[in-house]
Amino acid sequence: MRILRNLTLHYQGDREVALAAARGLDLTREPEGVNVAPGQQGLRNAVLELVARLRECHRKGEAVLLGGHTGVWVAAVAHIITHGEALPDLYYFDTRRVLDAEGRFVFEPEGLVRLEW
């Protein structure tokens, strides 16, 4: 199976792993997402770190589960595209948002979707 690298900020459980496996992907459970330090320089450093990870995944033929800081992802993908480079295949979970007994949202994955444009 092809690796689906977890570049989110969240651990992926059995349900997520099963949904990925159904698509022929071996989802890594541990989060490898990029955190952002304060300020503009913190954002710039996070973007460049994510760009490096995306390049590495593409080089290795791995797909990527996206998630985390939206601004970092937008800037990293834009950076790669504007430099004429290829992205790895990007996936996200289609999730149902359910309120728990205390009124908090619980996110339940229903499917794995490949981001295409």
Structure confidence at residue 117 (pLDDT): 76
Cβ contact 112:25 at 8 Å:
yes
Structural domains counted in the chain = 1
Question: Nearest to residue 60, comparing CAs of 22, 102, 7, 117?
Answer: 7
Structure confidence at residue 107 (pLDDT): 87
Structure confidence at residue 30 (pLDDT): 98
Cβ contact 49:7 at 8 Å:
no
Helices (H), strands (E): how many in the chain? 3, 5
Amino acid making up residue 48: L
Structure confidence at residue 106 (pLDDT): 87
Q: Give me the tens of pLDDT residue by residue for the chain, a chain 117 residues long.
A: 999 999 999 999 999 999 999 999 999 999 999 999 999 999 999 999 999 999 999 999 999 999 989 999 999 999 999 999 999 999 999 999 889 999 998 888 999 999 997
pTM of the model: 0.91
Structural domain of 41? 2-114
